[in-house]
Amino acid sequence: MANLKGLAKETAIYGLSSIVGRFLNYLLVPVYTIAMSAQSGGYGVVTNIYAWVALVLVLLTFGMETGFFRFAGKGEDDPMRVYSTALTGVGGVSLAFLVVGLACLEPIAGWLGYEEHPEYVGMMMAVVAMDAIQSIPFAYLRYKKRPLRFAALKLLFIFLNIALNLTYYVVLDGSDVGYAFLFNLICTGTIMLCLIPELRGLRYGFDPALMRRMTAYSLPLLVLGIAGILNQVADKIIFPYVYPDAGGASVQLGIYGAASKIAMIMAMLTQAFRYAYEPFVFGKSRDKDNRETYAAAMKYFVIFTLLAYLAVMFYLDLLKYLIGRDYWEGLRVVPIVMAAEICMGIYFNLSFWYKLIDQTRWGAYFSLTGCAVLVVLNVLFIPRYGYMACAWAGLAGYGVAMLLSYFVGQRKYPIRYDLRGIGLYLALAAVLYALAVWVPIENLWLRLGFRTVLLFLFIIYIVKKDLPLSSIPLLNRLVKK
C-alpha cells in the first residue's frame, strides 16, 4: 500500500501538469472553433497537421524514452552515460530530419496537400524536432523524481501558448490558422532554452556500444509506438484521402477533431498515470510483491477512468460549450472515443509484462494488429459513414490490442487481476450511463441534478468497496480530530 501511495503522490503532481495543462489548452478549442468556423475548414487543417506531428514525433524518439528508463534503472550502466547517449542519439536523428525536411519542404508540403502554405509544414517540422530532443530531458526529470520541475516547464509552455493565441485570435480578432503553428514554434523554442541545464548532460559522452544495446531494446518499441500513435491519429491522416467530398474533408475532420477534444479528458488521466507508472514499474521489477501491486494499480486505474467517463458524459450538456456551436453535431462521437481511451489505458497497463521480460516484440505484434483493424475499418467505412467510422474504428483497434495483450500476457507473465471486481464496476457504470441516457428529463438543471445523483451512487460504491474514507490521509486525520 505504501508503494501505491507513492505512485499516487507522483501521479497527482504529474497530473497537475497534464490535467491542468490540458484543461487550460481546452481554452484554445473554443478560441479556434469560434475564430475558424466549421465551414472554413481551418480547424480541420490544425487537426490534420497535428496528427502528422504526433506520428513523426514517435519516429524521431524511436522508443528511446523507455529504453532510457530500462538501462538507467538496471544498475549495470552509469545512468548519466545512458542519458547522454540517448540524448545524443535522439538529437542527431532529429537534427538530420529537420535539415532534410526543410531542404525538401515544397514537395513534402504538396504531398500533404499544403502546397499553398508550405510554411505550416516547415514550422511544425522545427517544432517536432525540438519536441523529440526535449523528450529525453523530460524523461530524465521523471527518472530523477523531479516532478515539480517537469510540471513547471510543461505549464510554462501551456500558459505562454494560451497567452499568444488569446492575444491574436481574441484581442486582435485574427483568423489565420498559420499563427497557431507559429505560436507553437515560439513556445517550444522557449522550453528548449529552459532545458539548457538538462542538455548539459551531453558532456558525459556518447557510448556507441551502449547505443546499439539501447537501440536493439527500443526498436521493437518504435514499431509499437508507430502502431500505437496510428491508433490515435491514423483516422485524421487517412480522412482527407478517402472521404468522397474533397472540398468538405477539412470541414468534417474539423468537426470530428473538435468534438474529440472533449473526450481527451480520459487521455489526460492516462498520460498522468503513465508518467508516474513507467519508472515505478521498472523500479519495482525486483520486488517480491510486484505482481500484486500491478494488479491493484490496474483496478484503481479502471475505477477512476470509469468515474471520469461518467462525469464527462453526465455533464456533456455543459462541456459542449468548450467548442463552437457549429461543431456540436460531432458530439455523438464523445462516448465512443472515451471508451476507446479507456481500452487504450488498460492496454498500456497490460503492456509492462513484455517490457519487464525484455520481449518487447509482443507489443509490436499487438499494436500492429490493432492498427491494422483501425486502418481497414477507416478505409472501408469513412466513405459511407464519415467521421463516425473513425470513432468506432478507434474503439475496435484498441479493443483488439487490449484483449490480445491480456490473453498472451497471462501465459507469459501471469498476473491475477481482480476481474470480478473490475467487471462489477463496468456493469455498474453501464447501468448508470443507460439510466442517464434513457430517462427523459427535458429541463437542463433537473437532468443535471439527476445525473449528479447517479454519479454519487458510483462514488459511494467506490468508497464502500475499495477506497474507504479512513484510507485517505487528510480525511482520516479530520475524523480522528
Residue 313 pLDDT class (50, 70, 90 cuts): very high
Residue 6 pLDDT class (50, 70, 90 cuts): low
State how far the Cα of 124 lies from the Cα of 116, in Å rounded to an integer.
Answer: 15
Residue 24 pLDDT class (50, 70, 90 cuts): low
For residues 317 and 262, the answer to whether their CB atoms sit within 8 Å is: no
Nearest to 401 by CA among 379, 356, 368: 368
Convert 39-79 into a string of H (helix), E (strand) and C (coil).
Answer: HHCHHHHHHHHHHHHHHHHHHHHCCHHHHHHHHHHHCCCCH
State how far the Cα of 49 lies from the Cα of 371, in Å rounded to an integer.
Answer: 20
Residue 35 pLDDT class (50, 70, 90 cuts): confident
Which of the 8 DSSP states describes residue 413?
S
Over 80: is that where the pLDDT of 125 sits? Answer: yes
Supply the pLDDT for residue 190. 97
- Residue-wise pLDDT for 326-356, tens only, equals 889 999 999 999 999 889 888 878 877 787 7
Q: What is the CA radius of gyration of the chain?
A: 22
Supply the pLDDT for residue 231. 77
Average pLDDT for residues 17-37, to the nearest whole number?
A: 74
Instruction: State how far Cα 359 lies from the chain centre.
Output: 24
Nearest to 292 by CA among 416, 121, 124: 416
pTM exceeds 0.85: no
State how far the Cα of 349 lies from the Cα of 351, in Å rounded to an integer.
Answer: 5
Checking 138-141 for CB contacts under 8 A at 24+ apart, the result is: 139/65, 139/68, 139/69, 139/86, 140/68, 140/83, 140/198, 140/201, 141/198
- Residue-wise pLDDT for 352-411, tens only, equals 778 777 777 787 788 889 989 999 999 999 999 999 999 999 999 999 999 999 999 888
State how far the Cα of 212 lies from the Cα of 77, in Å rounded to an integer.
Answer: 14
